[in-house]
A and B are shown apart, each in its own frame.
Chain A
Amino acid sequence: MTTQPATAPLRDDEPPVNLWRDAWARLSRNRLAVLSLAIIGLLAFVAVFGPWLTPFDFLSQNLDARNLSPNWVHLFGTDELGRDVFSRVVYGTRTAFVVAIVVTGIAATLGVILGALAGYLGGPFDRFVMWFTDTTMSVPQLLLVVVINASLKPPLVNFMEAQYEATKNGFFRNAIIIDFVLVFGSMALILWPPYARLIRAQVLSIRSRPYVTAARALGLTTPIIIARYIIPNAIGPLIVAISAGLGNAMVLESAFSFLGVGVNPPIPSWGNMISDGLQVWRNHAHLLAAPAIVLGVATIAFSFLGDGLNDALNPRGRK
């Protein structure tokens, strides 16, 4: 059994250790997390540049080439309108990423602000925020989105109509915009509570830690304490939550599109592609398989990445 000599002298060339370097080192050792990061990077690249690089436009129909199985021209085959499935999946990647990033961004911002304020101010505001998050989290997400969607659609449509009347700007007639706003709005409204609770818990616990008391005893002012002590300690769990949140948002978006309350055709979303594919999978399995597999891979990747980040940033959990 080879061992290092037990009398190795101290090495001065070792770099100083800090949380980020340590976390990155731990993360890069986790091969699964690195693989997931690579996959997500690839998907992100596809989301940004893909639609310009695909041979076919996702809208263009070719009625002579309907329901083709995967071949060299159409890598994933075609659907019942002759559209290239590969291009649609690629565009669906963009949909997924756009929705996930925007929604998570809104939800996280909202959640962090509310949570931080609640934790810091305490009192009745805190109680209200807590009650609000509790009740929001008590309503099953899908049902809540259904209700929000059903409730907000008519007023939104009316609002848009009124704006169109006022400005005669075609922008307001765009059904796609309405879809996206509804999706963003309802998802953000559901997804913010976990961030709020996380940040609030962090603020509360860090506030009472001895080193914050020590900082106060040294005469440091509140903004400095927040910047130097609270934020750096709260960022770790926040990063983990955001990573998991992105994956969650993607799954949610596809679920809603599947149900018809999310992104509707002709804009491709993995969800609505799966929904269409479900009608005909027995004869044309590729229509279901393509978006389903890509969705699955993306979700798993985000999940593993989240786990890896958690291990990297919270080392206490390991033996």
Chain B
Amino acid sequence: MLLFILKRLGIWVPTVILVVLGVYALAFYGAGDPIKLIFMRAPGDVAYDPVRIEAIREQAGLNQPFLQQFANYLFNALRGNFGNSLVSGRSVWSMVAAAAPVSFQLGLLAITLTAIVAVPLGMIAGMNQNSRLDYAILGAALLVWAIPAYVAGPLLMVFLITVLPGAAVPYGWGGIFDARIILPLVVLSFQPIALIIRQTRAAVIEVLSEDFVRTARSKGLPESVVALRHILRPVLTPIVTQLGLIMISIVNGAIFVELVFGLPGLGRLTVSALTGSDYPIILAITVIGSFLVMASNLLVDVLYPILDPRAADTRSGR
């Protein structure tokens, strides 16, 4: 098993590096010179002096070839040094570290909520295929999926405030036990929940037509046992492989949710970095986001043989 993990890591680490390389290259060759940028932004009509620029660049190591600069970036990144913000001058790491916990906590809660809500609903829908209950669940899932977070958010805020006038305005961050987290959490979970409901339902429908379900029923087992033991387990496998997609959805959605509900997380940081063209921050957050997605893919890869013994190594599980 350990060998399996190591093998997976062996493929995974270079991939991560390559992705970071790709993103870095985009920023590097596209946006161009950070120093020039600083000068271009400087207020007033600063006539920039090429000699001075060269000196600063040399000092900052920007004269070196691309790959070397990338290597430097990588090394620094591993030590937590992502450079400094072009706008505020603060270290990117400090800004990210301040914003990250908010987003992480929110994201984790969203994943948990998704698992608790979406899987049972999807199973119910699948096992009652084409019934009114099925259509109701599917319809709700599709509806929820179609409304973008940045629309659902404000609309729900209005709704909440008008319906419960005494409720705290859901704006701002108060920690995970604060009531204000409920609405952003729900809105963030919309997409993943809709996705998982549909996946679960499809998987359940597929499994239901399998012969071994018929065998289970022929043993005279009650339907609930058949559902939990024989249907749920094979269904979990394709769902867990969706973890990467869920992660992407959450990272994307967090941007909007944090914006709309005023949460000081990585999403909001991204948007402000974007409007300010603050490349080091954009780069750092992209790297982190990609890392998260790839980490969850790795986790799925490792978990898969446990869930589906058919895919296990030749050293079969005992």
> Restricting to B195-253, which residues have a CB under 8 Å from any CB of A?
202, 205-206, 208-209, 244, 248, 251-252
Tell yes or no: B99 within 8 A of A by CB.
no
Tell yes or no: A211 within 8 A of B by CB.
no
Tell yes or no: B91 within 8 A of A by CB.
no
Tell yes or no: A240 within 8 A of B by CB.
no
Tell yes or no: A135 within 8 A of B by CB.
yes
A141 to B286 CA separation, bound complex (whole angstroms) = 10
A288 to B260 CA separation, bound complex (whole angstroms) = 13
Query: Could you tell me the distance in whole angstroms from the C-beta of B256 to the nearest C-beta in chain A?
Result: 7
> Restricting to B114-156, which residues have a CB under 8 Å from any CB of A?
129-130, 142-143, 145-148, 150-151, 154-155
Provide the residues of chain A in CB contact with B148, threshold 8 Å.
Answer: 251, 254-255, 258, 295, 299
Provide the residues of chain A in CB contact with B174, threshold 8 Å.
Answer: none
Tell me whether A147 and B290 are in contact (CB under 8 A).
no
A319 to B15 CA separation, bound complex (whole angstroms) = 41
Tell yes or no: A123 within 8 A of B by CB.
no
- Which of A138, A155, A274 lies in contact with B244, CB distance below 8 A? A138
A143 to B20 CA separation, bound complex (whole angstroms) = 13
Q: Return the CB mask of B266-282 against A: 1 if under 8 Å, else 0.
A: 00001100110101001
> Restricting to B1-57, which residues have a CB under 8 Å from any CB of A?
15, 18-19, 22-23, 26-27, 29-32
Chain B, Cβ-Cβ closest to A149: B274
A279 to B269 CA separation, bound complex (whole angstroms) = 19
Tell yes or no: A34 within 8 A of B by CB.
no
Tell me whether A278 and B293 are in contact (CB under 8 A).
no
Known: A141-B248, A259-B271. A131 touches B158 (CB 8 A): no
Query: Could you tell me the distance in whole angstroms from the C-beta of A306 to the nearest C-beta in chain B?
Result: 10
Query: Could you tell me the distance in whole angstroms from the C-beta of A31 to the nearest C-beta in chain B?
Result: 12
Provide the residues of chain B in CB contact with A131, threshold 8 Å.
Answer: 15, 18
Tell me whether B150 and A144 are in contact (CB under 8 A).
no
Tell yes or no: A63 within 8 A of B by CB.
no
A292 to B260 CA separation, bound complex (whole angstroms) = 15
> Restricting to A118-152, which residues have a CB under 8 Å from any CB of B?
131, 134-135, 137-144, 146-152
Tell me whether B252 and A260 are in contact (CB under 8 A).
no
Query: Could you tell me the distance in whole angstroms from the C-beta of B92 to the nearest C-beta in chain A?
Result: 15
Provide the residues of chain B in CB contact with A251, threshold 8 Å.
Answer: 148
Provide the residues of chain A in CB contact with B155, threshold 8 Å.
Answer: 292
Tell yes or no: A9 within 8 A of B by CB.
no
> Restricting to B259-318, which residues have a CB under 8 Å from any CB of A?
260, 270-271, 274-275, 277, 279, 282-283, 285-286, 289-290, 293-294, 297
- Which of A147, A255, A278 lies in contact with B283, CB distance below 8 A? A147
A300 to B148 CA separation, bound complex (whole angstroms) = 11
Known: A139-B19, A143-B270. A154 touches B32 (CB 8 A): yes
Tell yes or no: A192 within 8 A of B by CB.
no
Tell me whether B274 and A261 are in contact (CB under 8 A).
yes
Tell yes or no: A303 within 8 A of B by CB.
yes
A259 to B150 CA separation, bound complex (whole angstroms) = 10
- Which of A139, A148, A261 lies in contact with B289, CB distance below 8 A? A139
A139 to B294 CA separation, bound complex (whole angstroms) = 8
Query: Could you tell me the distance in whole angstroms from the C-beta of A43 to the nearest C-beta in chain B?
Result: 14
Tell yes or no: A5 within 8 A of B by CB.
no
Provide the residues of chain B in CB contact with A303, threshold 8 Å.
Answer: 142, 145-146
Tell me whether B19 and A152 are in contact (CB under 8 A).
no
Known: A135-B15, A139-B23, A143-B251. A151 touches B293 (CB 8 A): no
- Which of B19, B252, B274 lies in contact with A150, CB distance below 8 A? B274
Q: Which residues of A contact B (CB under 8 A)?
A: 131, 134-135, 137-144, 146-155, 251, 254-255, 258-261, 274-275, 278, 281-282, 285, 288, 292, 295-296, 299-300, 303-304, 307, 317, 319
| 5 shortest interchain CB distances as A-B pairs | A151-B30, A299-B146, A140-B251, A300-B146, A292-B151
Q: Could you list some 12 contacts between A and B, CB below 8 A?
A: A137-B248, A139-B286, A139-B290, A140-B252, A144-B23, A146-B270, A152-B26, A152-B30, A155-B29, A260-B275, A296-B146, A319-B129
Q: Which residues of B contact A (CB under 8 A)?
A: 15, 18-19, 22-23, 26-27, 29-32, 129-130, 142-143, 145-148, 150-151, 154-155, 158, 202, 205-206, 208-209, 244, 248, 251-252, 255-256, 260, 270-271, 274-275, 277, 279, 282-283, 285-286, 289-290, 293-294, 297
